[in-house]
């Protein structure tokens, strides 16, 4: 067996079950007979779309939020030393572990009917999803994880350039689809849900008002957010104490680590 990195326990993609058996398990087991265990920090961010998918589907699941102490002590097995991670358990004792948010999100979306009705729709939904995902990654690298002396300049450039280009691009495609609150056709998909999560992500950063003001300028983009918010399962989930705790975790974390110094000075 390969040597485990110190304090970073790994789960392996090797299994006592054959790939054929695992594939059959996933294909033949009804969602009602599965239990999903999702692990991510006690914040919203990258784990939020998977949480929404589980709530939307009414799937049997648990949302685990390991503490930093547990993480440092090496009590959270992962594939690549990051979360989220997803464990899927079946009635026959079969268990599989999954890693990487994009893989987890698309896996759940496909199981729950949110990845289109055919190969073309699936590809299109994945295309929008990936572009939305990349926007959040750029936000981290270009604005949040920069030195304090660069935070204001980076934030302002992102809002006036990177975010605006994203919104213009997505407004075009959404208008092309009829400005009906959906990216593909006239039904909810992973792309819709992921966009709503990105909007929520921006509501938790220190410059939330500036970001949300940009989103509101684009009718078709904002309509997707409103359409997702109106889904009963998601509306109930976002009103829950559990959701609000994840939201508070994000706000607290970003306020502590990512506030623009000039904004803090004005507030004082």
User: Does 123 or 17 have the greater pLDDT score?
Assistant: 123
Q: Do the Cβ atoms of 106 and 126 come closer than 8 Å?
A: yes
Query: Which pLDDT does position 188 carry in this prediction?
Result: 99
Q: Do domains 19-111 and 119-267 have the same CATH topology?
A: no
Locate the domains of the chain by residue range.
Answer: 19-111, 119-267
Q: Residue 34: which pLDDT band, with cuts at 50, 70 and 90?
A: very high
Domain spanning 119-267, CATH architecture? Up-down Bundle (1.20)
10 Å Cβ neighbour count for 257?
10
| Angstrom distances, CA of residue 230 to CA of 1, 225, 226, 234 | 50, 9, 6, 7
What is the residue whose two structure tokens read 């109106």?
A: 230
Q: What is the pLDDT of residues 203-233, one digit of tens each?
A: 999 999 999 999 999 999 999 999 999 999 9
Q: What is the pLDDT of residues 183-202, one digit of tens each?
A: 999 999 999 999 999 999 99
* Whole-structure pTM value: 0.94
Residues 6+ apart with CB under 8 A from 180: 186, 223
Taking residues 79-85, what's their average pLDDT?
A: 96
> Which of 3.40.30.10, 3.40.1390.10, 3.90.1150.10, 3.90.230.10 would CATH assign to domain 19-111?
3.40.30.10
pLDDT at 1 over 70: no
Residues 6+ apart with CB under 8 A from 112: 31, 53, 56, 57, 59
Q: What is the pLDDT of residues 53-75, one digit of tens each?
A: 999 999 999 999 999 999 999 99
Phi, psi of 242 (to 5 degrees): -65, -45
CA distance 57 to 113: 9
Q: Residue 262: which pLDDT band, with cuts at 50, 70 and 90?
A: confident
């Amino acid at each position: 067996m390969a040597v485990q990195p110190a304090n970073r326990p790994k789960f392996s993609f090797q299994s006592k079950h054959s790939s054929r058996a695992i594939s059959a398990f996933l294909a033949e087991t009804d969602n009602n007979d599965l239990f999903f265990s999702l692990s991510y920090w006690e914040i919203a961010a990258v784990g939020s779309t998977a949480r929404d998918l589980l709530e939307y589907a009414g799937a049997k699941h648990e949302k685990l939020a390991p503490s930093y102490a547990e993480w440092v002590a090496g009590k959270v097995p992962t594939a690549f030393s990051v979360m989220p991670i997803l464990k899927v358990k079946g009635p026959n004792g079969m268990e599989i572990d999954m890693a990487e948010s994009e893989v987890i999100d698309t896996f759940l979306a496909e199981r729950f009917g949110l990845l289109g009705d055919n190969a073309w729709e699936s590809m299109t939904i994945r295309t929008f999803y990936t572009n939305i995902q990349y926007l959040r990654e750029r936000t981290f690298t270009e604005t949040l994880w920069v030195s304090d002396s660069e935070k204001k300049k980076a934030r302002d450039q992102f809002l006036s350039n990177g975010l605006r280009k994203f919104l213009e691009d997505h407004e075009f495609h959404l208008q092309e689809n009829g400005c009906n609150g959906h990216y593909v056709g006239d039904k909810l998909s992973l792309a819709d849900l992921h966009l709503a999560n990105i909007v929520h992500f921006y509501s938790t950063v220190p410059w939330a008002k500036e970001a949300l003001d940009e989103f509101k300028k684009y009718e078709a983009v904002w309509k997707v957010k409103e359409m997702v918010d109106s889904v009963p399962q998601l509306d109930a989930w976002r009103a829950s104490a559990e959701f609000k705790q994840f939201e508070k975790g994000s706000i607290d974390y970003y306020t502590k680590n990512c506030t623009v110094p000039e904004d803090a000075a004005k507030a004082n």
